[in-house]
Chain A
């Protein structure tokens, strides 16, 4: 079955830049999305269609795509950015697929 691969954890100092990657063979063919999830909360969409940012999402969060890898970049990380981040895309049948999630620690 199709898989999206993320690093389990990323650490960043406040004010620095964090990059979270997600790799998948079908990413060049299908849009990808990024979700932020804080403890005991539902996921929140922070990037859609690889690079677009929903309204209300700070512009320090950005998305990029290159080949089979997409990247969520958090510039000038703040304490409030500490969360789990999941990439999501679809497989060839249209089923949603999630990455394993990356825990971002801001310290």
Chain B
């Protein structure tokens, strides 16, 4: 069965960077775009960007002003999301989500809590 397993919670200081991983299993990793979505406490879901592991193409939300980088390692079936220049407003749960290909097959990771505090 399809599973997306994310790395554990992180605590970072303002100005630092964080890298969250998302290990996929149960399907052909290269065949599906992987999205990253975050949710600050009590706030809406916010899309950050995606990567096509098959060709490495990426697309990012303009809201992050070049602070986000999404990569993948097809040999490890793992996608990564790195967010730099962290500030307190980046405290959130970060999710990876496999693209649905316009179907009802929707899979999300369990979420990774990133806390930014001095």
* A38 on the B face (CB < 8 A): no
Q: Which of A21-29, A52-60, A64-72, A74-82 makes up part of the contact surface? A: A52-60
With an 8 A cutoff between CB atoms, is A97 at the interface?
Answer: yes
In the bound complex, do residue A42 and residue B106 qualify as a contact, i.e. CB atoms below 8 Å apart? no
> Which residues in B have their C-beta under 8 angstroms from that of A88?
45
Checking A1, A31, A35, A49 against B45 with a beta-carbon cut-off of 8 angstroms, the contacting residue is: A35
Number of interface residues of A (CB under 8 A): 26
The closest CB in chain A to the CB of B36 belongs to A96
Q: Provide the A83-107 mask, 1 if CB < 8 A to any CB of B, else 0.
A: 0001010000111111111000000
B69: min CB distance to chain A, Å: 16
Report how far A94 CA is from B106 CA in the complex, Å.
18
Q: Which residues of B contact A37 (CB under 8 A)?
A: 45
Asked if B106 and A98 make an inter-chain contact with CB atoms under 8 angstroms apart, the answer reads no
The answer to whether B102 touches A31, judged by C-beta atoms less than 8 angstroms apart, is yes
User: Does B108 touch A at the CB level, under 8 Å?
Assistant: yes
Minimum CB distance partner of B49 in chain A: A95
| Interface size class of chain B, counting residues whose CB lies under 8 Å from the partner chain | 20 to 34
The chain B residues found within 8 Å of chain A, CB to CB, are 35, 37, 44-47, 50, 59, 61-63, 95, 100, 102-106, 108-111
The residues of A with any CB-CB pair to B shorter than 8 Å are 1, 31, 33, 35, 37, 42-45, 48-49, 52-55, 86, 88, 93-101
Question: Please, could you name 29 A-B residue pairs with CB atoms under 8 Å apart, sorted by A?
Answer: A1-B62, A31-B102, A35-B45, A37-B45, A42-B95, A42-B110, A42-B111, A43-B45, A43-B108, A44-B106, A45-B100, A45-B106, A48-B100, A48-B102, A48-B106, A49-B102, A52-B104, A54-B105, A86-B44, A94-B59, A95-B61, A96-B37, A96-B47, A96-B50, A97-B47, A98-B37, A98-B45, A99-B44, A101-B45
- A-B contacts besides A48-B103, A93-B59, 19 pairs, CB < 8 Å: A1-B62, A33-B100, A42-B108, A42-B110, A42-B111, A45-B100, A45-B104, A45-B106, A48-B100, A48-B102, A54-B106, A86-B45, A95-B59, A96-B35, A96-B50, A98-B44, A98-B46, A100-B44, A101-B45
